[in-house]
Amino acid sequence: MASYSSPSAGSNVAGLTDLTTTLEERFGKEITKGTADSGFILTVSLTQPSILPALCRFLFWENGCLFGGIVAEEQPARWQMHYAFLLPGAGWVKVDLSLPIETTVLPSIVADVHAADWHEREIEDLFGIHFENHPRLGDFVLHDQTWHEGIDPMRKSFSPSRPQLELKEDLEWKPLLVVSEPGSFAMPVGPVYEGGVGESLHFLLETVGEDVIRAVPRLFYNYRAVEKIAEGRTVTDALLLAERFAATSAFAHSLAYCRAAESIAGVEAPPRAVALRVLLAELERLRHHAGAIAAICESTALAVSAAQASIIEENLLRASCAFAGHRYLFGLNTPGGLNRDFGTEQCRTLLTAVDKAESDLRTLEKRLRLSSSFLDRLEDVGVVTGESARDLNLVGPIGRASAQHCDLRAACPYSGYERYAFEIPLETEGDGYARLRVLLAEATQSARLIHQVVDSLEDGPVHVPWSVNHAGAALGWAEAPRGAALHWLRVNDSGAVERYRAVTPSFNNWLGFHVAAENFAFQDFPIILATFGLSATECDR
Amino acid sequence: MSFWFWHGLRKGIQSTRYPAHVESAPGVSPGRPVNTDFSTVEDAQLAAEICPTDAIVAHGKSTYVNHGKCVHCQLCLNSLSSPMNWEAGYEWTRLPANQTESLPFPSAFAKSMHIMVVDAGDCGACLHEVKLLSNPLYNMHRLGFFLTPTPRAADLLLVVGPVSENMRGPLLKTWEAMPTSKKVMAVGSCAISGGVFGKSFMCACGVGSVLPVDFEVPGSPPPPLAILHGLLTVAGRKSLKSLEPISEGRH
Amino acid sequence: MVIASPSLIAIFVVCAAGFLCSALFGRKQIPYVLAVAGVLSATLMVLASATVLLTGQSLDAALWELDGLGRFRIHLDALSSVFLLVTGIVYFSVSLFVASFLRNRDDEAHPHRLYSMLYFALMAAIVLILVASDTVLFLISWECMSILCFLQINYDPRGHSDKFAGYIMLAMSEAGFLAVAVAFLLLARSAADLSFEALRTAGTALPPQALWLPFLLGFFGFGVKAGLIPVNFWLPRSYTAAPPVFIPVFAGITLNLGFYGIMRLNTDLMHTGYGAGLVALITGSVTALVGILYATTDGDMKTMLAHSSIENAGIIVAALGAFLVFRALNQPVAAALAISAALYHMVNHSIYKTLLFEGAGHVEAATGTREMDQLGGLARYLPGLSAIFLVGCLAISAVPPFNGFVSEWMTLQTLLRSAVLVSTSVRIVFALCGAALALTAALAVTCFVKTYAMNFLGIRRGKWEVRDRAQAMSKFPMAFLAVVCLLLGILPTYVLPMLNRSVEPLAGTSITTALVQPFFTATPENVQLPAAFLQDFHNLGAQVGRGFIPGRGLVVLLRGGEANPVVFAMSPSYSLIALVILFAIVWYGFRRFTRHRTLARRPVWAGGIPRLLPLLTYTGTGFSNPVRVVFQAIFRPTIIGDTRQTVAVHFRTAIRRQREETHIMDRLLLKPVGTAVQKIAAFLAGMHHGKLNAYVTYVLAFFLLILFVYRGG
C-alpha cells in the first residue's frame, strides 16, 4: 500500500540559511550571491566557470537540492547560463554563469549531475556550445541522418521564419549500437509504429533474440522548435505555444508560463482565479492519470479493464468540455488570471463527474488488485531503483514510485496549493506496479483537491489587467501531471518574448527510461513504456 | 480473472449511436465559432483582431471563419463583449481549399477501411482523439474502420500535426509505402494550416505542403465524433451534401 | 546374378583404376578422373544393387580361405543392396560435385592427388563393408574405412582442419570397433564358423537374455558411427572440421554404415527381446530431440547440418527400435512398417543431407563463410543454388511432396501402432518417444526455416562478395539429388516394394501387401480388398491412372479391422497432382485478377527510418534464441565476459558479452570422464616420485596381494 508523505508545512527557511552559510565558507571567493528575484530565492553568480561542476555537486549531492534545468541565453555580447536547482521546502536556487560570446567550450556537469545530460546535449545541438568531457554529444534534437553540423537554430542569427531546409536523409547513416555479442542485432521500432497512434519516436532494441539487452529511445521527431518560434512574439501569442506543445498537460504548462509572465509584470492573479487554476490543474491531472491507467491496462492486454479505464477518461474529457468549453482545457489561462469564470452550478456538475470518475477508478483498482495475471506482468518489470531515480532526478509519478518525493505542489508551493490538504503518495519498489499505484493514489488526491477548491471558492474577479512594458525575466513552475514543469521567460522592453525555455517532466524522465529498459523480455517492452507513461511531444516541444 | 468477463458484460452497450442517430451527450464536442453578423463594424473588427491565428475575417459588420485556421482558443467567445456565434455539432469534414469535388473511396471500402495514423509533430490532442475512437464509447470497429500497423495494408493515411521537419521523411515514406488507391486525411488545424506553429524552419505549415490531401477535419482538436465523421465521409458513407459548403470565409 | 556378379567385381576394378590414375595423372586431370571413375563405379553400384532389389536374387561368393579364421565371403543380399543403392546414388552426385569443386578451386596448394587416392580407397572399403559376409572381412574393411575417414579429414597438411576433431573421431571409432569385434566374437562362441550365415543361425536360436551383451556392445559400437547419444560428441566436431570435398561422403555414406551395422548385427543376425528394442527406441528419440535442439541453435552451417544428421540418425534408430519391439512381441505388420520406415528414412536422409552439405560447401566456396549471422540475401546472388537448397530444406523438414515427409510420416505412424501392443508400460514408452519425435519434427521445420531464411533471404549481413569461380561450379549434382528427393517423395508405392526385399526376411511379412493396396490391379472378385471398401476408395479417386500407370496403386494405406477399416492412408502422388492443380488455379486466378494492375516496388517498410540496414535485421542467433531460452535446462548457456563500459555511471558506451555453451554430452560425459582420467593419471604419476623405499613398498604390497588372491589355489 502506498505510504504518503505530507507536504512540508511552511517554508524551509532554515535550510536556506544553512545553504547560504556553507556556500560562503566553501566558495566564498569565487561566487557573488544575489538576492531573490524572478522566481528564485537565491542567485549565485560565478566568476570562474571552472568551479561550476564543484558547485553543482555541492548543491545536488551535499545539500539535497534537486536539479531543475539549464537555460542558455544568448545576449548581444555574452552567454548567460542559468543552472536551476530546487531546495525542497524553500525554493529555487539559480547558478549564473556569464561568459563572453566568443566562448565555445563550457565545463560539463554531467559527471556529477547526470540529470543534466540531455540539457547539455540539447544546448550543444541547438547553440553549438561544446561541453568539455561530456561523453556523448551530437545526434540529439537535430538527427544526424538529416542535419549536418554547423546549424545552430537557437542562435539569434538564425531566423525562425527561415523556410524549411528540405534536407536529404543520409541513407548510409548507422545508429550507434553498444551491445556486441555473437549474433546480436538491433530491432528498430518507429518512428511510425503501433499503427501510428503511438507518438513519433524511435527505439533501438538491442538484442540477441527473445531478451532485449538494452533499449534506447531516440526522440525529437516532433520537435517544432517552440522555444525558437516563440521569440519575437508577444507574451500572449507565445502562450498559445506554451499551452499547445503538449496537449495532455496543456493547463499545467500554460499555468507555469502565465505565472512566469505575471512574475515579470509583478501582477498577482486574483484569488478566485488562483483557486480555479488549482481546480483545473487537478482536473487535468485526474484525467491524465485515468488515461495513463487505461494505457497500462491496454499494454497488458487486459481488454475489459482497458475499456473501462478508457471510458472513465472519456467521461472526464466530456466533463472538462462541458465545464470549460474545451476537452483538453485549452484557452483558459491568461497572464493575470483566467479567460472566463465558472458558475457554482457548473462546479457542482463537475464535482458529480469527478466523484463518479474517482469511484470508478476505485472499483477498477479493486478489480485489478485481484487480477493476478495482470499484476504478474507489472511486478518487477521496468524497475528503477531509488538511487537511479535520484541520480537521474526523475520527477513526477515515476520518481515518486521510486521513493523520490519531489512534488512541486508541496516542495515549492504555487498557486495557493499550500492552502489545501492533500497527500503525496510514495512507493519504494520502483517497478511498473508501483507506478500504477502512485497514479491511482494521486487520482484520489486530485479529486480530494477539487472538492476542497469548490467548497472554499470565494467570489471575485477571475482576471486582472496584465501588461508588460519593461524588460525582465522570470521562472514559472507547476507540477504537471507527469512531474515538474519549468518555464523560463524573458521579455524585452517592447513586451516581446526574447527567450523562452520550457523544461518538461517528459524531457527529464525519458533520460531515465533506459535504466528501466535493460535486460527485459521483449513482450514486456510495451508495459515498461506504458507504466512510464511519457509523452514524446512534451519532451520534444 | 473470469470476473472481468462478467463486469464487461454488465456494463451493457456503451457505444454512441452515431451515425444512425445524433449523439447529444454533453461535452462530446466543444463546438466552434461560425460566421456572425455583428450590430456594429467595430464589434466585427474586434472579433477579427482578437483571433490569434487570423481565422476570423471581418467584412463590414460580418465576420467569416476559416475553420482550418481556428485553433479553438475561445477568445472570441470568452473575451469579447459581443461574442461570436457558436455552433454545437461535430460534422465538420471539408475539402481542401484547392479541391472542388469530393472523391471518397468506392463502395468496396465502405464497410472495411484500414487506417494508418501518422503523428507528424502533433501536440498529442488530435492523436489522443484518434486513439479514443477505439474506446467503447466510439468503437469505430463496429463501422468497419481499423487501425493498421503497416502502411502496406492501409487505405487511408490519417495525419495529425503540422509536419515537423524530423517527421517529414518518415511521413513521406509511409505515404510511399501505401498501395494505391490511397487517400490522405488531415486531422486538426495544425495538419491543415500549421495552427499555432505557423510556418517555420521546423514546421511545414500543414500536411498539404507535403502530400496531396483529400479531406480535412478542422478542429483543435476535432472531437472523436468529428474524426469519425471524416472517416465516414472518406468511406463514402456520409453524403457529400453534409460536407461544409465552400464558404466565403475561406481565404 | 548374371549382372550383379560382374558389376560387383567391376566396382572394385574401377576403384582400383581410379586410385592408380590419381597416382599417375597430373593435377589438372584429377577432377576428370574423379568424375569419370566415380560416376562409373557409382553407376555400377546402382546397377548391382538394383538388380538384386528388382529380381530378388542375391549374390553370394566365397573368396579365399584363411587359416584359422575360415573363409572370406561376400554376399550382396537385399539389405546390403538397399545400402549399396543409396551409396551409389550419393557417390554419383558427390563425384561430380567434387570434380567440379576441385576444378573451380582457387586454392593452388590443395593436394588433389592424395585426396583423390583416398577417395577411391574409401569407396572400395565402403563397398566391401556392405558386401562382406563374414566377421573377419567385415571387421578388416570396417577398420580400413575408419582409418581412411580419419585421413580424409586430415589429409591436407596445411592444418586448417581441427586435428583434435580427427583424433577424437579415430579414438571413438576404435572404441566402437573393439566393442563390435567383441560382440561378433560373443555371438561366434555358439556358432559353427565366422560367416554371417552361421552367426544368424546361432543368434536366432539363443534366448534373448543371452543376447543382451552382444546387443549392447554392437549397439554401442555401431552407435558411435551412427552418431547416437551419448557417444556422438565426435560427430559435430569432425563434420565441422571435414573439408567440403569430403563432408558429403562423410554425411551421406559413412553415417549409413552405422545403421547398416546395427541392422546387420543387432537386427539381422540376432533376435533380441523387446527390451533391446526399447533401448534403441529411447536412445533414438533422445538423440533426435537433442540433435535437433542443437541444430536449431547453431549458427555454423556445417555444424548445424551435423547436428541435424544426429537428429535423423535418432529418428532412424527409433524406428528400428520400434521394429525390434514389434518383432519380439509378434506383430509382423507393425514390425514391417517400422523397418521400412527406418530404411526409407535412411535412404532419404542420405539424399537430402548430401544435397545440403554440397550446398553448404558451395556457399562456403562462394562467400568464404558458413556463419549464418554473416550470410543473408544469397538468393539474389545464387538463384539456382537457392532453389535447389530450398528443395533440400523442404525435404528435410518433411514437407510434401518431398521424400522426408513420407518417411517421417511412416515413423510417426509406426509409433502410433503401439496401440496393438498389450503391455501398458511399453505403450507409455512409445507414446513418450512419439511425442519427442513429433517435437523433433516441429523443431526441424524451425531449424530449416532459419537456415534457408538466414542464408538465402533478407539482406547481406557480412562483408563478402560472391566469387566468380565458385559461381561457375556445376549445380547438376545437387539438382540430380533434388530430383531424387522429389521422386522418392511422390512414388512411395514403388519404393516400398523395392524395400520389401529386405523387409520381408527381417519382419516375416510383406510390406507391399500391408501398405501398398492393389487399387490398380484389384477386381471386384479379388478377395484381398472387400468390394465396398474398394468402391469407396475408387470414388475418392484411388484408381486414377489405372491402365496406363504400372504397379499396384498410388495410395499407401494400412487396413485395420472391422471397426476401423483404414488405420492410415496417404498418397503423395495424388497430393502432388492436387497441389499442382491448386497452384495452377491460384496462379491463373491471380494473373487474371491482377492483369490490369501495375506492380510498384518500394523499399522495405521499416517504420520510417532512413533505410533498413543489415544490422537492424534478425540474425540466425536471434531467430533461434527463443528455442535456446525455452530449453535452457539443456543448453545451460553461460555468459562469459559480460563487460559493461560506462562513463559517468549511467552512460553505457559498450556492452560486450560472450556466450559459451558446452554440448550436453560434453558436459555430462566427455568432461567428467576426461577429468577422471586425468585425476587417475595424476594419482599414478604421483606414485612415481623416484624414492627407492616407495618402490620397495609397492613391490611388497603387490606381492602380498598376489599371495592373498591365490591363497586357496
Q: What digits encode the pLDDT tens for the residues C17-62? A: 999 998 888 888 888 888 999 999 999 999 888 888 888 887 777 6
Each residue's pLDDT tens digit, C412-438: 999 988 888 888 888 999 999 999 999
Neighbours of A156 (CB within 10 A): 12
Q: Indicate if the pLDDT at residue A29 is higher than 80.
A: no
Is some CB atom of chain B closer than 8 A to the CB atom of A519?
no
Chain B residues within an 8 Å CB radius of C607: 170
Instruction: Give the minimum alpha-carbon distance from B167 to chain A in angstroms, rounded to a whole number.
Output: 6
State how beta strands C651-660 and A179-180 pair: parallel
Q: What would the mean pLDDT of B162-186 be, rounded to a whole number? A: 87
Give the span between the Cα atoms of A445 and A451, in whole angstroms: 10
**Whole-structure pTM value:** 0.84
CB-CB under 8 Å, A196 with B158: yes
Is some CB atom of chain B closer than 8 A to the CB atom of A371?
yes
Give the span between the Cα atoms of C301 and B153, in whole angstroms: 36
Give the span between the Cα atoms of A344 and A356, in whole angstroms: 18
Best probe of the A interface among C303, C371, C609, C617, by most A CBs < 10 A, is C609
Instruction: Give the minimum alpha-carbon distance from B212 to chain C in angstroms, rounded to a whole number.
Output: 19
pLDDT at B243: 46
Q: Which CATH class is domain A226-532?
A: mainly alpha
Q: Indicate if the pLDDT at residue C2 is higher than 50.
A: no
CB-CB under 8 Å, A195 with B147: yes
Give the span between the Cα atoms of A467 and A234, in whole angstroms: 10
Q: What would the mean pLDDT of B156-184 be, rounded to a whole number? A: 87
Residue with cell 468496396: B108
pLDDT at A467: 83
> What is the overall mean pLDDT for chain B?
83
Is some CB atom of chain A closer than 8 A to the CB atom of B75?
yes
Reading phi first (left if > 0) and then psi (alpha if -120 to 50, else beta), residue B110 is in: alpha
Most confident of A418-432, C333-347, C680-694: C333-347
Q: Indicate if the pLDDT at residue C523 is higher than 80.
A: no
Give the span between the Cα atoms of B162 and A463, in whole angstroms: 32
| Residue A144's pLDDT band (cuts 50, 70, 90) | confident
B209 DSSP assignment: G
Among candidates A516, A522, A510, A409, which has minimal Cα distance to A199? A510
| Residue C188's pLDDT band (cuts 50, 70, 90) | confident
Give the span between the Cα atoms of A463 and A32, in whole angstroms: 39
Top pLDDT among A166 and A277 is at A277
pLDDT at C524: 58
Each residue's pLDDT tens digit, A269-315: 888 888 889 999 999 999 999 999 998 998 888 888 888 899 999 99
CB-CB under 8 Å, B74 with A330: yes
| Interface contacts A/C by beta carbons within 8 Å | 118
- Tell me if A2-132 shares its fold with A226-532: no
| Residue A124's pLDDT band (cuts 50, 70, 90) | confident
Q: What would the mean pLDDT of C515-537 be, rounded to a whole number? A: 73
Give the span between the Cα atoms of A414 and A16, in whole angstroms: 18
**Backbone φ, ψ for residue B105 (5° rounding):** -65, 155
Per DSSP, which regions of C477-560 are E strands?
556-559
pLDDT at A196: 58
- HSE-up of residue C698 (Cα within 13 Å, Cβ side): 10
Give the span between the Cα atoms of A385 and A4, in whole angstroms: 18
Residue with cell 533401448: C279
Which of C602, C609, C610 lies nearest to residue B176, judging by beta carbons? C602
Q: What would the mean pLDDT of A467-472 be, rounded to a whole number? A: 82
Q: Indicate if the pLDDT at residue C699 is higher than 80.
A: yes
Q: Indicate if the pLDDT at residue A10 is higher than 50.
A: no
Q: Among residues of chain C, what percentage have pLDDT more than 70?
A: 94
Each residue's pLDDT tens digit, C73-114: 888 888 899 999 999 999 999 999 998 888 887 667 778 888
Instruction: Give the minimum alpha-carbon distance from A33 to chain C in angstroms, rounded to a whole number.
Output: 30
pLDDT at A9: 40
Give the span between the Cα atoms of A500 and A118, in whole angstroms: 18
Residue B32, helix vs strand vs coil: strand
Give the residue on C whose Cα is nearest the Cα of B152: C605
Is some CB atom of chain A closer than 8 A to the CB atom of B140?
no
CB < 8 Å & 24+ apart, contacts of C425-432: C426/C274, C426/C278, C426/C325, C426/C329, C429/C278, C429/C281, C429/C282, C430/C281, C430/C322, C430/C325, C432/C285
Contact A379, A449 (CB under 8 A): no
Q: What would the mean pLDDT of A256-267 be, rounded to a whole number? A: 88
Each residue's pLDDT tens digit, C240-289: 888 888 888 988 899 999 999 999 888 888 888 888 999 999 999 999 99
Among candidates A459, A514, A487, A493, which has minimal Cα distance to A261? A487
Most confident of B52-56, B193-197, C403-407: C403-407
Each residue's pLDDT tens digit, A514-541: 888 888 888 888 888 888 888 888 888 8
Best probe of the C interface among B118, B173, B175, B178, by most C CBs < 10 A, is B173
Chain C residues within an 8 Å CB radius of B116: none
Top pLDDT among C531 and B32 is at B32
| Residue B249's pLDDT band (cuts 50, 70, 90) | very low
| Residue A1's pLDDT band (cuts 50, 70, 90) | very low
Each residue's pLDDT tens digit, C111-137: 888 888 899 999 999 999 998 888 888
Give the span between the Cα atoms of B33 and B71, in whole angstroms: 11
Indicate the domain borders of chain A: 2-132, 185-218, 226-532
Chain C residues within an 8 Å CB radius of A191: 607-609
Q: Indicate if the pLDDT at residue A157 is higher than 50.
A: yes
Instruction: Give the minimum alpha-carbon distance from B175 to chain C in angstroms, rounded to a whole number.
Output: 10
The H-assigned helical ranges of A300-343 are 303-324
Sequence-distant (6+) residues with CB within 8 A of A240 are B52, B71, B73, B196
Best probe of the B interface among A240, A315, A327, by most B CBs < 10 A, is A327
> What is the overall mean pLDDT for chain A?
84
Q: Among residues of chain B, what percentage have pLDDT more than 90?
A: 4
> What is the overall mean pLDDT for chain C?
86
Q: What would the mean pLDDT of B109-122 be, rounded to a whole number? A: 87
Is some CB atom of chain C closer than 8 A to the CB atom of A517?
no
CB-CB under 8 Å, B125 with A161: no
Residue with cell 549565485: A44
Q: Sheet containing C651-660: which strands, arranged edge to edge? A: A179-180, C651-660, C638-647
Give residues 215 to 244 of B whose Cβ lies within 8 Å of A. 220-221, 223
CB-CB under 8 Å, C600 with B169: no
Each residue's pLDDT tens digit, C631-681: 888 877 777 667 776 666 667 777 777 777 788 888 888 888 889 999 999
Reading phi first (left if > 0) and then psi (alpha if -120 to 50, else beta), residue B194 is in: left
Among candidates A258, A334, A250, which has minimal Cα distance to B79? A334
Please, what is the Cα angle at C25 between C21 and C30, to 5 degrees? 80
Contact B98, B230 (CB under 8 A): no
Residue with cell 580407397: C121
Q: What would the mean pLDDT of A4-32 be, rounded to a whole number? A: 66
**DSSP states of A233-253:** SBHHHHHHHHHHS-GGGHHHH
> Residue B119: which H helix or E strand, with range?
strand B113-119
**DSSP states of C532-547:** HHHHHHHHHTTTTTBT
Give residues 33 to 72 of A whose Cβ lies within 8 Å of B. none
Neighbours of A14 (CB within 10 A): 10
- HSE-up of residue C192 (Cα within 13 Å, Cβ side): 8
- Which grid coordinates are listed for A426? 510514495
Q: Indicate if the pLDDT at residue C580 is higher than 90.
A: yes
Is some CB atom of chain A closer than 8 A to the CB atom of C626?
yes
- Which grid coordinates are listed for A489? 521567460
Top pLDDT among C523 and A246 is at A246
Each residue's pLDDT tens digit, C299-343: 889 999 999 999 999 999 999 999 999 998 888 888 999 999 999
Indicate the domain borders of chain C: 669-712
Give the span between the Cα atoms of A220 and C296, in whole angstroms: 41
Give the span between the Cα atoms of C651 and C71, in whole angstroms: 80
Query: Could you tell me which chains touch chain C, where touching means 3 or more CB pairs under 8 A?
Result: A, B
| Homologous superfamily of the A2-132 domain (CATH) | NADH:ubiquinone oxidoreductase Nqo5 subunit (3.30.460.80)
Give the span between the Cα atoms of C622 and A185, in whole angstroms: 8
- Which grid coordinates are listed for A207? 538484442
Is some CB atom of chain B closer than 8 A to the CB atom of C600?
yes
Which of C602, C609, C610 lies nearest to residue B177, judging by beta carbons? C602
Give residues 605 to 634 of C whose Cβ lies within 8 Å of B. 605, 607-610
| Residue A2's pLDDT band (cuts 50, 70, 90) | very low
Is some CB atom of chain A closer than 8 A to the CB atom of C660?
no
Top pLDDT among C518 and A400 is at A400
pLDDT at A6: 45
No. of helices (H) and no. of strands (E), chain C = 29, 6
CB-CB under 8 Å, A180 with C625: no
Each residue's pLDDT tens digit, A332-346: 888 888 888 888 888
